[in-house]
Amino acid sequence: MYVEKMKAAIEKQIEKEYEFSPVRGCAAQLTDIVAGDERLAQIVCEDFDNKRTVIECEKKIKAFVDKNHKGNAGYCPPWKAEEIIREYFGLGSASEQAAAPTQMPAPKPKVMTLADLI
């Protein structure tokens, strides 16, 4: 539920960005971080409701690049971008996420057929 809501909100935020925009890269990385975790998606959705955006998050990444560039070259490695994204949206570190217990999906109810009764 929250994962789909988050993805829809992200699409709405980036719909006017050009194809290779850093904002689109940030959105893709946020989606990868959350993956299918409903708890993380809920946190992101609450942040979106509180006026946090992917665009503003990408500005934090750009600030890192601007602060750490040499000459005309600047780069933010993926691990650092992930750290910035996690901090901006309050998602905790990757190690905290790995240590958190994962909720197993409820098993699908078994559909009985006539053959099962025989």
CA distances from 44 to 21, 38, 90, 114 (A): 21, 10, 8, 46
Length of the chain: 118
Please give the model's pTM, rounded to 2 decimal places: 0.78
pLDDT in tens, the chain (118 residues): 899 999 999 999 999 999 999 999 999 999 999 998 999 999 999 999 999 999 999 999 999 999 998 888 889 999 999 999 999 999 988 777 666 655 545 555 556 566 666 6
Task: Report, in angstroms and rounded to the nearest whole number, the Rg of the chain calculated over CA atoms.
Answer: 19
Q: What is residue 106's predicted lDDT score, i.e. its pLDDT?
A: 53
Q: Tell me what pLDDT residue 72 has.
A: 86
On the 0-12 / 13-18 / 19+ scale of CB atoms within 10 A, 34 is buried
What gap in Å lies between CA 50 and CA 42, rounded to an integer? 12
